[in-house]
Amino acid sequence: MKLAWLKTVENAHEDSVWAATWVPSTADDRPPLLLTGSLDETVRLWSPYELKCEATNTGHCLGVVSVAAHPSGEIAASASLDSFIRVFNIRNNETIATLEAPPSEVWQMQFDPSGTTLAVAGGGSASVKLWDTGKWQLIASLSIPRPEGLKPSDKSSSKKFVLSVAWSPDGRRLACGSMDGTISVFDVSRAKFLHHLEGHFMPVRSLVFSPTEPRVLFSASDDGHVHRYDAEGKSLTMALSGHTSWVLSVDVSPDGEAVATGSSDRTIRLWDPKMRAAAQTLNNHTDQVWAVAFQPSKGPGGRGCWLASVSDDKSISLYDYS
């Protein structure tokens, strides 16, 4: 397993690039695209091979903190610090919907695998909001229960500030990570909180389920560790350490064999879960790496895929994973 550097676009945005995701290829064979969001208030689409900027979408008033792509590859959503979510058509940048939440209540977003629901990490509301992608209406709010012994009037809800969210590949479970380091797991169909996954003691900024194993959840936290949980069994199955600063982002390769992480220590690491160790460390970014994203493979046939990383140094890099 290896990452080979392919290309870097310097000054891809005017300011720090904070979010990146792959837009899957569409039914009519449009290739997958890379979607990035930045502090310069824009969202950009990049062609996959030469990383050519295909489109620059404006419209946010503050920096873009999160981007999400619909499984169909037709629509995408971007969210900014002022808690507006803009849902737009990939092809023509047409605004499909503008979802507004109270400020501080929109962070990471993800579409569910079937594309019917958009889950949004609800920040200060200590919940995950689910939006219906047909009517663009709020359908549910999955709240993290308050710890026992805490009076409802107590204003310390910010302890459970929800930063990250992840759908299980089968769409049945939803995990969210919060500022105090706990990860909460919900049963989506019953809209019910199941349990906490513990082990981190600092904010969990990124979560991802293994695409091959629905029970396996990877988490990245400011405490510098990457954890692997059994989300059903409520147990920590592995902790990977090596980053010297916060781990900002985690993603699992389509084959489920490798995990990539981006960190504040300006490196990207490729981990081999089987070996429980880092397989590779990449140092090509000059500032903290806010997001790493594997290109989802279309089928079992394609062995290799790409990894994209974005950083505070305004650049985007592309690697070949094999």
Partner 1 sequence: MGEEGDTVLTLRQLQESVDSHPDDPSHHFNLGVFLWEKGKQSKEIKEKAAEHFVISVKFNPQNDAAFRYLGHYYSRLSVDNHRASKCYQRAVTLNPHDSESGEAICDLLDQEGKESLEVAVCREASEKSPRAFWAFRRLGYLQLHQKKWSEAVQSLQHAIRGYPACADLWEALGLAYQRLGMFTAAIKSYGRAIELEDSRVFSLVESGNIFLMLGSCRKGVEQFQQALQISPQNVSAHYGLASGLLGLSMECISLGAFRWGASLLEEASKVAKASTCLAGNISCIWKLHGDIQLTYAKCFPWMEEAQGLEIDEKFFSTSILSWKRTCCLAAVFASRSYQRALHLVPWQANIYTDIAITSDLICSLQGSDKQDLNAWQLPEKMSLGGLLLESSNSEFWVALGCLSSHGALKQHAFIQGLQLDISLAVAWAYLGKLYREKGEKQLARQAFDRARSIDPSLALPWAGMSADIFVRELTPDEAYESCLRAVQILPLPEFQIGLAKLALLSGHLSSSLVFGAIQQALQRAPQHPEAHNMNGLVCEARFDYQSAASSYRLARCAISTFAGNVRKSHLQDVSINLARSLCKAGNALDAMLECEDLKKEGLLDLEGLQIYAISLWQLGKNDLALSVTRNLAANVLSMEQTSRAASISFICRLLYYISGQDSAIISILKMPKELFQGSKISYVVSAIHALDQSNQLESVVSSSRYFLKSHEEITEMHFLIALSKLVKHGSKDYLRIQTGVNHLKKFLHMYPSSGLMRNLLGYLLLSSGEWNGIHIATRCITAGPSHCSKEEGLRSACEILGAAVVACYTTGNCNGKFSFPTCGYECLHGSGAIQQLQKWLRQEPWNHNARYLLILNYLQKAREERFPPHLCIVLERLIGVALSSQMFSKKDMSCQYQKFQLLLCASEISLQGGDHIGCINNAKKALGLFLPDGSLFFAHLLLCRAYAAEDNFVGLHEQYLRCLELKTDYHIGWICLKFIVSRYKVQNDSNLLELGLEESPKEMKNSQNMWMAVSSLVHGLIAIWTQDFLSAEQFLVQACLLASAESSLFLCHGAICMELARQQCDSQFLSLAFRSLKRARETSLSPLPIVSLLLAQVEGSLGSKTKWEKNLRLEWFSWPPEKRPAEIIFQMHLLSRESKEVSDSSLSAESCQNPRRWILQAIHLNPSCLRYWKALHKLME
User: Could you list the residues that contact partner 1 (CB under 8 A)?
Assistant: 15-16, 18, 39, 61-63, 65, 81-83, 100, 102-105, 107, 123-124, 155, 158, 161, 163, 179, 245-246, 264, 287-288, 312
Collapsed DSSP state (helix, strand, coil) of residue 5: strand
Q: Identity (one letter) of the amino acid at 132?
A: D
If the CB atoms of residues 48 and 203 are measured against partner 1, the closer one turns out to be 203
Closest CA to 68 of 293, 312, 307, 264: 293
Burial call 106-120: b when 16+ CB within 10 Å, e when fewer: bbbbbbbbebbbbbb
Determine the distance from the C-alpha atom of residue 192 to the mean position of all C-alpha atoms in its chain, rounded to a whole number.
22
Shortest distance, position 256 Cβ to partner 1, whole Å? 29
**Residue with Cβ nearer partner 1 (171 or 242):** 242
By C-beta, is 295 or 309 nearer to partner 1?
A: 309
Nearest-approach distance from CB 91 to partner 1, in angstroms: 28
CB 218 within 8 A of CB 199: no
CB of 264 to partner 1, least distance (A): 4
Measured from the CB atom, is 163 or 308 closer to partner 1? 163
Residue number, 18 or 46, with CB nearest to partner 1: 18
Q: Shortest gap between Cβ of 38 and partner 1 (angstroms)?
A: 11
As measured in angstroms, the least distance from the Cβ of 105 to partner 1 is: 7
> Which helix (DSSP H) or strand (DSSP E) does residue 253 occupy?
none
- Partners of 196 in the β-ladder: 184
Distance CA 24, CA 68 (A): 11
Task: Confirm if 36 and 318 have CB atoms less than 8 A apart.
Answer: no
